Amino acid sequence: MTRRTVAEHISRVTDLLHGLDSLPACDATLAEALGRVLAADVHSPVDLPPFRNSQMDGYAVDAASLAAGTTTLPVRATIAAGESAPSHIAGTAIKIMTGAPIPEGADCVVPVEDTTTADGQVTVLRSRAAGDFVREAGSDVHTGDLLLPAGVVLGPRHIAALAAVGLTSTRVRRRPRVAVITTGTELVEGGLPLGPGQIYDSNGITLASCARANGAEVDSIARSSDDPDTFRKLLTVATDYADVVLTSGGVSMGDFEVVRAVLEPLGGEFGHVAMQPGGPQGTTVVDGVPVLSFPGNPVSTLVSFEVFARPLLRKAAGLPPIVAEELPVVDAVTSPPGKRQFLRGRREGGQVKLVSGPGSHLVAGMAWADVLLDIPAEVTTLVAGSTVTVWAL
């Protein structure tokens, strides 16, 4: 492909991944639903609470039987939570535990701390009004009321509401399925000793983590050497189930660019995007599955994901978009002409400070960053205090 701007490549990737917007909904158990996005409104199938019950440990009475001062009443029964309530008799009290049903005829609960007891009787030390410490049926939600609207990202509090009305599963947006393939004969799995010229493969777990953090499912993280047959086999496995495949490495102009060598004959477009880091990029459709090919340097890989893949995966999963901020820079910034630069920075007291340098290999330094500074291609210098667009990492 010819040299593209970042905006042009975003448009290309957006067109490629347009099918992710129409992924079908699916059912998820409540145990699986945390972090998922509701696909449809949920209406309560029951009243909550389902019956009148006590808000306190105390005594269920009828308020009319209580005098203005102290009143002594016989205690005729005890109700625990989970038991059925005996009928109430005017002028008596029933000992009741929190959550137990209010007896028919009783209309308030006297907290135990407002009473004394002796010889099977309770002395109420202050009067109470009808309704005191009584939870009415449906006072939280009525049958048929909207419990949760579509589009909610389910957190623990939402799971609690669904469980409280007796639901065991709910309809959610299906997460986009992502496969990750890293390439390079020099890559070694973490924990193994490094040989001459070898480096640890950080891109596989990084891309998988990025995808999962933005609403995707990742079932496959594969590593390919620079052998085309090996890469083809891994790609075939990935495209069998994935909605989108992410690759890293093998996309530039060197002698061992396995991704480009395999995908260009299949119609893949490879070339340079006017950005730093992350210039070499590729896009292909293989067996109907879009493949986004990022450069192999760790920071380039991560920045490429943030710029090109993250917004689309979040949209497909139903998650809210990441919104840019405008912050002043602590120090002066320089940027190469003609390239949109994404520098790593950290928020400090309402400003943003650069961390690490611009190099695409400085992955340890990136761990200290919490934002990307987005420097337009036409800007070569920002003086200290200038406002810059930043994207949260």
DSSP notation for 149-209:
-TT-B--HHHHHHHHHTT--EEEEEPPPEEEEEEE-TTEE-TTSPP-TT-EE--HHHHHHH
pLDDT for residue 262: 96
Model confidence at 189: pLDDT above 60: yes
**Which pLDDT belongs to residue 166?**
97
85 CB burial (10 A radius; 0-12, 13-18, 19+): buried
Average pLDDT over every residue of 38-62:
96
- pLDDT greater than 80 at residue 239: yes
CA atoms within 13 A on the CB side of 95: 15
Structural domains of the chain sorted by starting position, each given as residue range(s) with its CATH number in brackets: 6-23+175-317 (3.40.980.10), 31-48+139-173 (3.90.105.10), 53-135 (2.170.190.11), 325-392 (2.40.340.10)
**Degrees to nearest 5, angle at CA 49 with 43 and 52:** 145
Cα angle 335, 337, 339 (rounded to 5 degrees) comes to: 80
Q: Which residues contact 213 (CB under 8 A, 6 or more apart)?
A: none
For 72-115, the pLDDT digits (tens) are: 999 999 999 999 988 888 899 999 999 999 999 999 999 999 99
Question: Which residues lie closer than 8 Å to 13 by C-beta, 6 or more apart?
Answer: 283, 292, 308, 309, 312
**Per-residue pLDDT band at 356 (split at 50, 70, 90):** confident
Across the range 215-227, mean pLDDT stands at: 93
pLDDT digits (tens, 9 = 90+) for 251-274: 987 677 999 999 999 999 999 999
Cβ within 8 Å of residue 379, ≥6 positions away:
335
At residue 360 the predicted structure's pLDDT band, cuts being 50, 70 and 90, is: low
Residue 202 has pLDDT above 80, yes or no: yes
**pLDDT tens-digit series, residues 343-352:** 999 999 999 9
Check whether 69 has a pLDDT greater than 80. no
pLDDT for res 21: 86
When pLDDT is averaged across residues 308-333 and rounded to a whole number, the result is 95
Tokens of 292: 């986004």
Q: What is the pLDDT of residue 2?
A: 61
Average pLDDT, the chain: 93
Average pLDDT, integer, range 202-223 = 94
Q: Which residues are 115's β-sheet partners?
A: 124
Tell me what pLDDT residue 359 has: 63
pLDDT at 338: 93
Q: What percent of the chain has pLDDT over 70?
A: 98
In this structure, the number of other CB atoms found within 10 A of the CB of residue 29 comes to: 10
Does residue 362 have a pLDDT over 80?
no
Report pLDDT digits (tens) over 122-178: 999 988 999 999 999 999 999 999 999 999 999 999 999 999 999 999 999 999 999
Secondary structure class of 384 (helix, strand, coil): coil
Give residue 67's pLDDT: 79
DSSP-assigned states of every residue in 94-118: EEE-TTPBPPTT--EEEEGGGEEEE
- Helix/strand/coil for 346: strand
pLDDT score for 3: 84
DSSP letters along 39-57, please? SS-EE-SS-BSSS-EESSS
SS3 13: helix
Q: Which two tokens stand for residue 251?
A: 């996309």
Q: What is the pLDDT of residue 205?
A: 94
Average pLDDT of 2-27?
A: 92
Residue 170 sits at φ, ψ, to 5 deg, of -155, 160
Least confident of 211-225, 247-261, 367-381: 247-261
What is the arithmetic mean of pLDDT over 176-195?
93
- Confidence at residue 361, expressed as pLDDT on a 0 to 100 scale: 63
In this prediction, residues 223-230 reach a mean pLDDT of: 95
